Amino acid sequence: MAEPIVELQSVYKSYYRGQLEIPVLYNINLTFTEGQFVALMGPSGSGKTTLLNLIAGIDRPSDGRLVVAGQDISRLSEGDMARWRANHIGFIFQFYNLMPVLNAFENVELPLLLTRLSRSERRRQVETALGIVGLGDRMGHYPNQLSGGQEQRVAIARAIVTDPTLLLADEPTGDLDRHSADSIMDLLSRLNNEFGKTIIMVTHDPRAAEAARTVQHLEKGELVSS
Amino acid sequence: MRLLKIIYRNTLRHWLRTSLTVLGLAIAVVAFIVIRTTIDAWYAQSEAASPDRLITRHAVSLTFFLPLAYENRIQDVEGVKAVSHATWFGGVYVEPKNFFANFAIDHTKYLDLYPEFVLEPAERDAFMQERNAAIVGRNLADRFGWQVGDRITLTGTIFPGDWELVIRGIYTGAKENTDESTMMFRWDYIDERLRREVPARAGYVGTFVVQVDDPQEAAVVSEKIDALFQNSLAETKTETEEAFNLSFVAMAGSIVLGLKAISILVIGIFMLVLGNTMAMTARERVSEYAVMKTLGFRPLHIVGLIFGESLFIAALGGALGIALSFPLGGLVKTMLSNFFPVYTIAFWTVVFAGLIAFVVGLLAAVFPTVKAVRTSIVDGLRIID
Ligand SMILES: Nc1ncnc2c1ncn2[C@@H]1O[C@H](COP(=O)(O)OP(=O)(O)OP(=O)(O)O)[C@@H](O)[C@H]1O
Ligand SMILES: [Mg+2]
């Protein structure tokens, strides 16, 4: 049996708008194991991003238990949470969110600045990551000199460069044309197949979901079995 | 720190905005330095005073004169080393806008009491020998292109008529803050003509200059001198030369106060310019900071980024302002040389301006930093640019 890598028990999440409590996730129980490639699907507003953010440790549950990469992250302090994210999470955003003032190399290097790696070790890892995403020849390009698909590849390289326990992606192809979207999905599949990366991906796109081996549906804040 | 590159690039990201901000800061710094230096110049006149010199004048007002006969009585006061006199003449050269200070002095002793006015021995001899001889400061001579031997005419305001003078010497200042824009000529030349034309006004002087044996005794000697003439027709007021000079500054006190207020206002403008730029900057980068936090960067890193950028811009503005203030101060110096014989940007003014730039750089970063650190990652990411 593969190790459980994400475990949610009775997770509840609500936001407050003034006095008004807006429940977003109800009684979520789920387990993902190492090496899984999961697609989280569901209508807009069903709470997919919220769930992903909880797993990523960038948001906190209102109630329930959340064990990710062997750590009960609902109990960590802000500082410990940041360190934990740096070690275990690679996050891929819908809009790439690269730093516009840094070129591809520097963007990928960014998370490594938090490590003790030497300059040459960092260089080697960045080159490896950019090689995997197929952008070894674009290292000096700035985000505004890259296509959307290329930007997302850089973002993926940034997410994998620290070799995190878990790759999380929120609609990684949501802003791309069909062709670019397909090649990004191929890339994620390869990361899962060849490199054994555990991936949890939010998506609206049925074709993207095909690439995943597990699909979870969310509806109005609740998991529905499919 | 490895984030220096990001700070540097962020600063240059909107180069036009950054340039305008830096320029705005530089102008504020120049204004601050020039205003401070002007205030200093105002006080410099009193600081040039010698501690062993007292000035005795009419107790009522400077516009009243004292009998020359007082000189001997002051000389007899215990603790007095030497006495001389000087009278504000108020002569106009060609037209009133050519204003400069001109005094009728006691040619026999006055220059001995003012060793900071340096004159060639030959020029001094010439001054002693010729009744209508005049000596002028280097600055003043340069201003009108005067040379030794030139004849000039002053039109009297306090002493009516045209007064023919011949320049017999050009003095230089022994110290940096010595006034080099004054004209001095002989009191006996004036007095002789008054004796003929308006005898009632002859034999009077404006102020006595008293040199004391011991500067520590200045207060005591002053009291003794004033006691001497108590209840007489012309009572006196004696004070140190510095206090005397300061009373002129005090006359312009409200102007100085105004200048000080403006210099503080200028710091406020500095603050607003940079604060506004930093607030705009931080607002634009909310999602970038959220991404960095997602990657594991901690609040302290964000603090470093924003403070670094603010301090960098403040440093650029401060440095440019300080660099510009020297040529600009030089320009002001030439323009105001009639009013301020000494106009030098003080080292401490520059240090102070630099310090203000630094502190404002810190302050301008506080609000955007608090905002950036307080914004949760989730909220920061929800803002799509
Ligand atoms: N920070 C927040 N404050 C208040 N309400 C929020 C916040 N974040 C999310 N919500 C609400 O929670 C619900 C779920 O949002 P979420 O972003 O998780 O949906 P989603 O499934 O990702 O939708 P989409 O497919 O449109 O991205 C929505 O109704 C949203 O308005
Ligand atoms: Mg979403």
CA distance B283 to B276: 11
pLDDT reported for residue B243: 85
pLDDT reported for residue B252: 67
pLDDT reported for residue B257: 84
Check if the beta carbon of residue B94 is closer than 8 Å to that of residue B100: no
Percent of chain B with pLDDT over 90: 73
| A26 touches B: beta carbon within 8 Å | no
Check if the beta carbon of residue B195 is closer than 8 Å to that of residue B58: no
pLDDT reported for residue A226: 60
**Domains identified in chain A, total number:** 1
- Buried b or exposed e, range A185-212, using 16+ CB within 10 angstroms: bebbbebbeeeebbbbbbbebeebbebb
Picking from A66-70, B2-6, B51-55, which range would have the lowest pLDDT averaged per residue? B2-6
Tell whether ligand 1 has an atom less than 6 A from the beta carbon of residue B384.
no
Q: Which helix (H) or strand (E) holds A13?
A: strand A4-17
* Strand positions, DSSP E, B174-257: 182-186, 204-205, 207-212, 236-240
For residue A117, pLDDT beyond 80: yes
- Within a domain: A135: no
Stretch B1-26: mean pLDDT: 91
Q: Which of B9, B295, B298 sits opposite A110 (nearest CB)?
A: B295
Tell me the two tokens of residue B10.
């962020």
Q: Whose CA is nearest to atom 8 of ligand 1?
A: A50
For residue A190, give the CATH number of its domain: 3.40.50.300
| A93 CB-near residues (< 8 Å, 6+ apart) | A155, A170, A172, B291, B381
* Strand positions, DSSP E, A36-161: 37-41, 63-68, 71-72, 89-92
Stretch B340-356: mean pLDDT: 89
Tell me the two tokens of residue B71.
């000189």
Chain B residues whose beta carbon lies within 8 Å of the beta carbon of residue A158: 295
For residue A72, pLDDT beyond 60: yes
Check if the beta carbon of residue A169 is closer than 8 Å to that of residue A199: yes
For residue A1, pLDDT beyond 60: no
| B230 CB-near residues (< 8 Å, 6+ apart) | none
Q: Strands A166-170 and A198-202, how do they pair? A: parallel
pLDDT reported for residue A48: 95
- Packing angle of the helix pair A148-160, A178-193 (nearest 10 deg): 20
Chains A, B: CB contacts within 8 A come to 59
pLDDT reported for residue B230: 92
- Within a domain: A50: yes
What distance in angstroms lies between residue B382's CA and the mean position of ligand 2's atoms?
10
Tell whether ligand 1 has an atom less than 6 A from the beta carbon of residue A224.
no
| B27 CB-near residues (< 8 Å, 6+ apart) | B321
Tell whether ligand 1 has an atom less than 6 A from the beta carbon of residue A24.
yes
Encode B27-54 in three state secondary structure: HHHHHHHHHHHHHHHHHHHHHCCCCCEE
Q: Is B300 buried (19+), middle (13-18) or exposed (0-12) by CB count in 10 A?
A: exposed
Tell me the two tokens of residue B104.
């009728």
Q: What is the pLDDT of residues B221-257, one digit of tens each?
A: 999 999 999 998 899 999 998 888 877 766 667 788 8
A6: which strand partners? A32, A68
CA distance A51 to A8: 10
- Please state the length of chain A: 226
For residue A121, pLDDT beyond 90: yes
Stretch A30-52: mean pLDDT: 94
pLDDT reported for residue B343: 83
Q: What are phi and psi of A46, to 5 degrees?
A: -80, -10
Stretch A156-169: mean pLDDT: 96
Which value does ipTM take for this structure?
A: 0.95
Q: What is the pLDDT of residues B14-64, one digit of tens each?
A: 999 999 999 999 999 999 999 999 888 877 777 778 889 999 999 998 889
* Cα A163 to Cα A83, A156, A191, A196, B326, distances in angstroms: 14, 11, 11, 11, 56
pLDDT reported for residue B50: 84
Stretch B331-335: mean pLDDT: 84
CA distance B53 to B46: 12
pLDDT reported for residue B334: 80
Name the nearest CA neighbour of B207 among B81, B59, B99. Answer: B59
Q: What is the mean pLDDT of chain A?
A: 93
Stretch A48-55: mean pLDDT: 96
Confidence label for B171 from pLDDT (cuts 50, 70 and 90) = very high
Q: What is the pLDDT of residues A202-219, one digit of tens each?
A: 999 888 888 888 999 999
- Within a domain: A108: no
> What residue in A sits closest to B299 (Cα-Cα)?
A79
DSSP string of B69-114, one letter each residue: THHHHHHTSTTEEEEEEEEE---EESSGGG--EEEEE-TTTHHHH-
> What residue in B sits closest to A82 (Cα-Cα)?
B296
Strand, helix or coil for residue A14? strand
CA distance A168 to A56: 7
Q: Which helix (H) or strand (E) holds A169?
A: strand A166-170
Check if the beta carbon of residue B167 is closer than 8 Å to that of residue B147: yes
Q: What is the mean pLDDT of chain B?
A: 91
Q: Where do the structural domains in chain B lie, given as residue ranges? A: 2-45+253-382, 60-234
Picking from A15-19, B130-134, B173-177, which range would have the lowest pLDDT averaged per residue? B173-177
User: Does B378 contact A111 at a Cβ distance shorter than 8 Å?
Assistant: no
- Buried b or exposed e, range B51-87, using 16+ CB within 10 angstroms: ebbbbbbbbeeeeebbebebbeebeebebbebbbbbb
Q: What is the pTM of this model?
A: 0.78
For residue A225, pLDDT beyond 80: no
pLDDT reported for residue B188: 95
Stretch A186-206: mean pLDDT: 93
Strand, helix or coil for residue A118? coil
Domain range holding A170? 4-96+164-224
Q: How far is B319 from chain A (nearest CA, A)?
A: 25
Stretch A149-165: mean pLDDT: 96
Chain A residues whose beta carbon lies within 8 Å of the beta carbon of residue B2: 113
Interface of B with A (CB under 8 A): 2-3, 5-6, 9-10, 13, 287-288, 291-299, 376-378, 381, 384
pLDDT reported for residue B2: 76
For residue B126, pLDDT beyond 60: yes
CA distance B227 to B243: 19
| A95 touches B: beta carbon within 8 Å | yes
